Chain A
Amino acid sequence: MLKKYLFLLILIACLMVAMSCNKGVPPEALKLNKKSLEQRQLQTRIYDTDNEEKVLNACVGVIQDLGFNIKDTSSKLGVLVGTKKRDATKASQVVAAAFAAALTGQATPVDDEQKMKISIVTNYMSKGKERIKVRVTFQRLVWNTRGNITKREFLDNPEIYQEFYSKLSKSLFLEAHKI
């Protein structure tokens, strides 16, 4: 009887492994939702200028101020991409891991390194060409001490965006308008 159950369990496990292979894109991944507009507002500012090149130059300056290196640019499409690698060690995680190690005698991996990406897209507002909108987005990948990825995330803390635009406004000598 027990063996029969074991056999069934293994069979189910095998099926689950096989099915997880076929798992596709989450249905909501490529659909716009209610949060899309909110995020667009958080990530976008409008500047009263008709000089996209000047805005892009100012953005490059801010990207460098933030310690990123430029990875790709397209002046024709108003795109700037920057990346940086930084330490991702969290004191609390290290302490917890040390306790866990003392109790179990096994080392627990902790977050070690992160790669952060900034991407800026500028565009003219479609009516007339006297205003330019800037939209910035950030994401990061975190690796642990065993070299496995522990976090793949979009960064949507409003403070990041406020700080970014306050720096950009200073470097452009222009006031930013929210949308």
Chain B
Amino acid sequence: MRIKSLVLLFAFSLVITGCASTQERLLDSEQSQVKLRSIQTRTYDTTDKEKLLRSALSTLQDLNFVIDKADYTIGTITAKKLNNYALVMTVTVMPKGEKQLKVRANAQYQSKPVADPQPYQNFFTSLEKAKFLEEHDVQ
């Protein structure tokens, strides 16, 4: 009986710990590419890339991120939030057609990719608030 339960326990532990091999994480391909893009992206009716990037910078600062890198030409910002945990976020701003810009954010929490839609939803809500404040110069 005892041996049986130990074997069961062992098998159970193996099932729990038996994730993908560590090399496969390079391409993190377990998530659907289309789904990931849709939860990480929002489109804005503006062509002012600089203003949108600056709003993203200010949003990240409002959220206690410290900026790591920013590049206007490629339209990327990378920032890190340290609060007993490490949350890294990259925000990109790219043209979509002639009259719109799309903003994509991707995040890494501790050493895991963030695939849950909620944190992105929260980020874009914060970005919209910051954009509003910037436009109305409310401090």
Interface size class of A (residues with CB under 8 A): 35 or more
Q: Using a Cβ–Cβ cut-off of 8 Å, how many residues does chain B contribute to the interface with A?
A: 52
B75 nearest in chain A by CB position: A77
B57 nearest in chain A by CB position: A121
Fill in one digit per residue for A126-160: 1 if any B CB lies within 8 Å of its CB, else 0.
11000000010111110000000000111000000
Which chain A residues lie closer than 8 Å to B36 at the CB level? none
Inter-subunit contact A74/B72 (CB<8 Å)? yes
Could you tell me which residues of chain A, from 40 to 72, have a CB within 8 Å of some CB in chain B? 40-41, 43-44, 71-72
B51 nearest in chain A by CB position: A126
Among B50, B70, B86, B107, contact of A152 (Cβ-Cβ < 8 Å): B86
B6 nearest in chain A by CB position: A7
Inter-subunit contact A152/B84 (CB<8 Å)? yes
Check A79 for interface membership: any CB of B closer than 8 A.
yes
Question: Binding site of A, secondary structure by majority: helix, strand, loop or mixed?
Answer: mixed
Inter-subunit contact A126/B2 (CB<8 Å)? no
Check A107 for interface membership: any CB of B closer than 8 A.
no
Inter-subunit contact B137/A154 (CB<8 Å)? no
Given contacts A14-B12, A179-B139, contact A24 B84 (CB under 8 A): no
Inter-subunit contact B85/A152 (CB<8 Å)? yes
Check B116 for interface membership: any CB of A closer than 8 A.
yes
Inter-subunit contact B84/A27 (CB<8 Å)? no
Inter-subunit contact A141/B5 (CB<8 Å)? no
B79 nearest in chain A by CB position: A119
Which chain A residues lie closer than 8 Å to B137 at the CB level? 125-127
A43 nearest in chain B by CB position: B61
Q: Interface of A with B (CB < 8 Å)?
A: 3, 7, 10-11, 14-15, 17-18, 24-27, 29-32, 36, 39-41, 43-44, 71-72, 74, 76-79, 81, 117, 119, 121, 123, 125-127, 135, 137-141, 152-154, 179
